[in-house]
Structure 1
Amino acid sequence: MSQTLEQIAQKLHATNKKVQLIYAFNGTGKTRLSRALKKLIVPRTDGDEEEDLTRRKILYYSAFTEDLFYWDNDLLDDSEPKLKIQPNEFTDWVLRDRGQDRNIVDNFQRYTSRSITPNFVPEELVIEHDGRRENTQTFPEIRFNYTGGDDVEQNVKISKGEESNLIWSVFYAILQEAVSILQEKDPALREDEQFDDLQIVFIDDPVSSLDDPHLIELAVDLAQLIKSCESSLRFIITTHNPLFYNVLHNELKNSFKKERGGELTTVYRPSQAMRWRLEKLRDGRFLLIEQDSRTPFSYHLLLISELKKAIDAENLQKYHFNFLRNVLEKTATFLGYQKWGDLLPQVDGAPDPFAARIVNLSSHSAHSGEEISEPDVKDKEKLVGLVNYLFDRYHFLVQEAEDG
Structure 2
Amino acid sequence: MGVSLIDIAQQLKDNDKKVQLIYAFNGTGKTRLSRAFKLLVAPKVDGDTELEELEVVTKKILYYNAFTEDLFYWDNDLEFDAEPKLKIHPNSFTKWIFEEQGQDRNIISNFQHYTDEKLTPHFNEEYSVKDKDGNNVTVGAFTEITFSYERGNDERSNNIKISKGEESNFVWCVFYSLLEQVTDVLNVAEPSERETNQFDQLEYVFIDDPVSSLDDNRLIELAVNLAHLIKSSQSHLKFIITTHNPLFYNVLHNEFNKGTFKKYFLKKNEDGEYDLITQSNDSPFSYHLFLKTEIEKAIETGQLKKYHFNFFRNILEKTSTFLGYDNWGELLPKDTNGNINPYETRIINISSHSKHSGDEMVDLTDDDKRVLKYLMNNIKEMYRFK
Give the SS at the match of 2:147.
strand
CA 1:140/1:344 → structure 2, altered by over 3 Å: closer, same or farther? same
Q: How many residues are matched?
A: 371
Q: CA deviation at 1:178?
A: 0.3
Distance 2:331 2:31 in 1: 37
1:402 match: none
1:3 match: 3
**Which deviates more from structure 2 when the two are superposed, residues 230-239 or residues 83-92?**
83-92
CA 1:337/1:212 → structure 2, altered by over 3 Å: closer, same or farther? closer
Kept in 2: contact 1:10–1:40 (CA 8 A): yes
Structure 1 residues 316-335: aligned runs within 5 Å: 316-335=304-323
1:257 match: none
CA 1:48/1:339 → structure 2, altered by over 3 Å: closer, same or farther? closer
Indicate whether 1:29 and 2:32 are aligned: no
- Choose the corresponding residue for 1:279, options 255, 261, 267: 267
1:394 match: 383
2:42 match: 42
**Which deviates more from structure 2 when the two are superposed, residues 232-241 or residues 49-58?**
49-58
Distance 2:30 2:57 in 1: 19
Q: 1:197 is matched by which residue type in structure 2? A: Q
Stretches of structure 1 lacking an aligned partner (at least 5 in a row): 126-134, 254-269, 398-404
Q: CA deviation at 1:71?
A: 2.3
Distance 2:236 2:191 in 1: 13
Kept in 2: contact 1:304–1:327 (CA 8 A): yes
- Choose the corresponding residue for 1:219, options 208, 220, 223: 223
1:101 match: 104
2:131 match: none
Q: 1:95 is matched by which residue type in structure 2? A: F
Kept in 1: contact 2:57–2:198 (CA 8 A): no
Indicate whether 1:72 and 2:75 are aligned: yes
Kept in 2: contact 1:164–1:210 (CA 8 A): no
Kept in 2: contact 1:145–1:152 (CA 8 A): yes
Q: CA deviation at 1:53?
A: 7.2
1:243 match: 247
Indicate whether 1:385 and 2:374 are aligned: yes
**Which deviates more from structure 2 when the two are superposed, residues 241-250 or residues 372-381?**
372-381
Residue-by-residue CA offset, 1:89-144 (whole Å, 9 max, x unaligned): 3222332333322221122122122212212225579xxxxxxxxx9946432111
Distance 1:90 1:160 in 2: 21
Stretches of structure 2 lacking an aligned partner (at least 5 in a row): 129-137
Q: CA deviation at 1:303?
A: 2.0
Q: CA deviation at 1:390?
A: 2.4
Structure 1 residues 347-366: aligned runs within 5 Å: 347-349=335-337, 350-363=339-352, 365-366=353-354
Q: CA deviation at 1:235?
A: 0.4
Q: CA deviation at 1:192?
A: 1.1
Distance 2:277 2:354 in 1: 27
Find runs of 4+ consecutive structure 1 residues off by over 6 angstroms. none
Kept in 2: contact 1:220–1:248 (CA 8 A): yes
Q: 1:174 is matched by which residue type in structure 2? A: L
Q: CA deviation at 1:317?
A: 3.8
Structure 1 residues 80-95: aligned runs within 5 Å: 80-95=83-98
Indicate whether 1:210 and 2:214 are aligned: yes
Distance 2:298 2:56 in 1: 43
Higher normalized strand content (fraction of residues) = 1
Q: 2:83 is matched by which residue type in structure 1? A: E
Distance 1:368 1:80 in 2: 37
